[in-house]
Amino acid sequence: MINKILQAAKLLENVSNKTPVMTSRTLNEQTGLDVYLKCENFQRIGAFKFRGAYNAIYNLSEENKKNGIITHSSGNHAQAVALVGKLLSIDTTIVMPKNAPLVKIQATKQYGAEVVFSESTIQDREDTCNALIKKNNLTLIHPYDNDMVIAGAATASKEFTDDYRLDIMITPCGGGGLLSGTAIYCKESNAVQSVFGAEPEMANDAYLSFKNSVLHDQVTPNTIADGLRTTLSNRTFKYISKYVDDIILVSEEEIKSAMEFLWTRMKLIVEPSGAVPLAAIIKLAKNNDIIPNTKVGIILSGGNVELTNYFSSL
């Protein structure tokens, strides 16, 4: 995988944004740590997902590109695939759950993709997607169960560690693509000693899978972090089991508090899923479960937030 990650980094060098890394004196004082935030909310489409989507789609065969591509996603991967389809002139179909955030649905449509709605369960999303694949001979670009997607996601951690020496890297975990790619690169390149995942208590399948060494399905993921309501695949479970050191759970209130800090103190628009790893680090520091002055790298995975109601009320 390390070679795939390096190839992806070369491919994306002049395509994706090299996202900034931000720090906060207030955050460092409150936690007693040296915290660095990789702002993938400034990536194209507002999330790290662009990296994996571009890498996977660009490397398809010409025949597959001609036939068209499809994916299922609640939002960020949907937007990423839609944009890449537009950039590479590929017909794109996106299956989105009916309860996906409106801002993500609108952006996906604006990039030119055909949006097909499904029920909110993972099974219905997959069933709807599979029926369209069979009917129209489309190629699936899975949100995370794809090595080329994972390799593309890993380029965020390569950029990060090329410029900063870190003791710990932490990312959110939904389907596990970002966490898998990050952990593989950090460990295989010896760039970072420890890699953590962060997950909502209300969507804790990865935590249970990691702790019990048995893959658990997501049951009722009732969390504000809509991007983390998915479940691990066998592929990402394998990578996480091998390379990740721990997974930290956080409450809904801890997620909201971290998100509020990012918005009000750092002026960073970060969606709930992206705030989850910061919530985890604040929790570890508060409980004295992390060594003071540790250099911590956090990947803020995205910044697509539904603000329609806010602006309509002005």
> Would the pTM count as exceeding 0.85?
yes
Q: Could you tell me the domains of the chain?
A: 2-47+147-308 (3.40.50.1100), 49-140 (3.40.50.1100)
Q: How far apart are CA 18 and CA 274, in angstroms?
A: 17
- Asked which of 73-82, 236-245, 261-270 is least confident by mean pLDDT, the reply is 73-82
pLDDT at 153 over 90: yes
Catalytic residue among 4, 16, 38, 49: 49
Residue-level pLDDT at 250: 98
Sequence letter at residue 282: I
Catalytic residue among 74, 180, 209, 301: 74
Active-site annotation holds for 49: yes
pLDDT classification of 221: cutoffs 50, 70, 90: confident
Q: Chain-wide mean pLDDT for the chain?
A: 94
Active-site annotation holds for 65: no
Q: What angle do CA 122, 127, 131 make, to 5 degrees?
A: 150
Mean pLDDT, rounded, for 258-276: 96
Alpha carbon distances (Å) from 235 to 9, 21, 100, 145: 21, 29, 25, 6
pLDDT tens for residues 43-84?
A: 999 999 999 999 999 999 999 999 999 999 878 899 999 999
Q: How far apart are CA 156 and CA 274, in angstroms?
A: 14
pLDDT tens for residues 74-115?
A: 788 999 999 999 999 999 999 988 887 787 888 889 999 999
pLDDT at 310 over 70: no
Q: Give helix then strand counts, H and E, for the chain.
A: 14, 10
Q: How far apart are CA 124 and CA 118, in angstroms?
A: 6
Alpha carbon distances (Å) from 114 to 59, 82, 91, 127: 22, 9, 8, 17
Is pLDDT larger for residue 152 or for residue 314?
Answer: 152
The sheet with strand 21-22 has its strands ordered as 21-22, 34-39, 295-300, 168-172, 194-200, 246-250
